[in-house]
Amino acid sequence: MADGGAHCEFRVSEFRQVSLEMASIEKRDTRTALCGLVMGAADIVPGVSGGTVALVLGIYNRLVSAISSFDREAVRMVAARRWSAVAEHIDLRFLVALGFGIATGIGGLSFLMKKLLDEHLQLTYAVFFGLILGSGILVARGVARWNAASAGALIFGVVAAWIVVGFDVLQSPPDTFWYLFFCGTVGICAMILPGISGAFILLILGRYSHVTDLIRSVLKGDWSLLVFVEIAIFCSGCLFGLLAFSRVLRWLLAHHTTITMATLCGLMLGSLRKLWPFKLELTPPDTEFKLKQFENIVPQFQDGTTSVTLGLIILATFAVLSLESFARRRRAADNSETPS
């Protein structure tokens, strides 16, 4: 009888241990999902980098490691049907929780962004302009050594972006599947570059409004075949970008950091031409936003909204610099706590 009581106590103790472990796992999953929620909310705002937010939240290294784990070893595990090994290798639980949070954050803000672009374009673009300007400053800080080569790369980036964003094809981009795939491929690469926003890339490519429209369509219950096909094509482009082009970017950052960062800085600063908030609308007012065309103009300082617009640019720039400063202190604190 005593042995039975001891055995029962052991089983209860074991059950409590398992329960505590499960509760701990669920707590970590919830925290990861909340981190994804914040990242998703940031990702849909052009100029706010999801990578920077991941740094602030302390999950950036794990995110990059999980993305990098989609390699040949993972393919071999899939071929051998070692599903549990695959899940552990790619940190599947973390990616699922994070992905759920990101999707929720993006969906939650998509309606707000449409309203702001439709009704308050100048002020919204002012915030975007300041966010990108601040991000460009941060990327410039990442240039380890400024010399003739890095200065040349900066100038090249500025000129190239300034010319490209003025192309007619980006004012009225092709409404084709291949271009949507291309936008997903390029836009997703911003995820691995703190300081660069994927939403900003989509805005430059002229497909930001279209992609957010797709998200809103699904949330509103418009589950048409075309919507799902376009989402599938865009997501396929994202997957291709993560598996292919992101590796090229990591190689460039590892072997040619100075030139790469200087070029990226130039591309961001040159692209500000697209986000200049003072614009003259060339299309009828009732035109759908993704079809509208604008021309940059010099602001009229006697207009009361001009000072508000300039103030928003300054505030947004300061907000990005403050966020990065916080992220840098967070990294320093984490490094100091890591045992050598």
Q: How confident is the model at residue 191 (pLDDT cuts 50, 70, 90)?
A: low
Q: Which of 41-50, 251-260, 307-316 has the lowest mean pLDDT?
A: 41-50
CA distance 308 to 288: 26
Q: What pLDDT digit, counting tens, does each position of 59-100 carry?
A: 777 887 787 777 788 888 888 888 888 888 888 888 898 888
The pLDDT of residue 15 is above 70: no
Most confident of 10-24, 173-187, 248-262, 285-299: 173-187
Confidence label for 117 from pLDDT (cuts 50, 70 and 90): confident
* 234 against 245, higher pLDDT: 234
Q: The whole model's pTM is what?
A: 0.66
Residue spans of the domains in the chain: they are: 49-101
Q: Indicate the average pLDDT of the chain.
A: 79
The per-type count for the chain, helices as H runs and strands as E runs, is 17, 2
Mean of the pLDDT values across residues 282-306? 79
**Is the confidence at residue 183, as pLDDT, over 70?**
yes
- The band of 248, judged by pLDDT with boundaries at 50, 70 and 90, is confident
Q: Which residues contact 178 (CB under 8 A, 6 or more apart)?
A: none
Euclidean distance between CA atoms 232 and 272, whole angstroms: 30
Query: Is the model's pLDDT at 181 over the cut of 90?
Result: yes
Q: How confident is the model at residue 3 (pLDDT cuts 50, 70, 90)?
A: low
Q: Count the helix, strand and coil residues of the chain and give each as a percent rounded to the nearest 5.
A: 80, 0, 20
Work out the angle at residue 171's Cα, subtended by the Cα atoms of residues 169 and 176, and round it to the nearest 5 degrees.
55
